Amino acid sequence: MEELLRNAIESAVASSKERKFTESLEIAFTIKDVDLKNPANRIQEEVRLPSGRGRSVKIAMFAGGEMATKAEAAGLEIIDPTTIEDLGGNRQKARKLANKMDFFLSEIPHMGTVGRYLGIVLGPRGKMPRPVPPNLDPGMMAAGLSDTTIVRSRDRMTFHAAFGTKDQTLEELTSNALAVWNRVIGKLERGQMNIRSCYIKTSMGPSVKLEVVS
């Protein structure tokens, strides 16, 4: 599989046009014979990419006081907890924030408020905040997320995940794609036999199909 992934990545990168921005690389799965109506069968994985994401991630934190100071020092964007209700009342602004950020963190006391007012926006995007205990440095959590990608099927048979950018080397991208592949296969009851098809593509380029034996 490693060689198949490497060849597909190489082809996808070679066939993509030059852009004014750095494109991401994505792997798309279509699975079969899986009952996704049962939440237990859905794919919801956080995969640490061995070669990193190839770009910096944007992380925001719902925090105040000392925790906000620590988070700001770690380069996180701070969201004042007193603004959560107002933010929830402005759906357009909430969506813009949700799409802008890769991950959210929150002090534990604010988790309920975030869920109440912003859950309808953050939940479907898989971006509900991770709780940060009072004795934990938010910068440490942010560092762990910097190399993390989310693989999430919800109730759909086709889903995808980013695993790097065109700026990374072929070997780096291959190791990242293999990490995602192995995690998905490991979550499926019949492993590769539950894969109907798999494609590699740049964010705006053509798809390259992997010849998956299933």
Output the pLDDT for position 18: 85
Confidence at 17, pLDDT banded by 50, 70, 90: confident
- CA separation for the pair 2, 185 (Å, rounded): 14
Mean pLDDT of 125-153: 92
% the chain with pLDDT above 90 = 86
At 193, list the tokens: 């036999």
Q: Residue 213 — very low, low, confident or very high, per pLDDT cuts 50/70/90?
A: low
pLDDT at residue 124, rounded to an integer:
87
Per-residue pLDDT of 152-195, as tens digits, reads 998 999 999 999 999 999 999 999 999 999 999 999 999 999 99
Taking the C-alpha atoms of 102, 104, 105 and 108 in order, what is their torsion angle to the nearest 10 degrees? -160
Query: Domains in the chain, ordered, with CATH?
Result: 2-54+146-209 (3.30.190.20), 59-145 (3.40.50.790)
Q: Which residue has the tokens 């237990």?
A: 40
Q: What is the DSSP string of 33-61?
A: S--TTSGGGS-EEEEE-TT--SS---EEE
Please, how many CA atoms are within 13 Å of residue 105, restricted to the half-sphere of its CB? 32
Q: What is the pLDDT of residue 211?
A: 84
Helix 2-15 / helix 170-187 crossing angle, nearest 10 deg = 130
What was the pLDDT predicted at 167? 93
Q: Is a pLDDT exceeding 90 seen at residue 42?
A: yes
Q: What is the pLDDT of residues 76-134, one digit of tens each?
A: 999 999 999 999 999 999 999 999 999 999 999 999 999 999 999 999 888 999 999 99
Question: Does the pLDDT at position 214 exceed 70?
Answer: no
Q: What is the pLDDT of residue 20?
A: 85
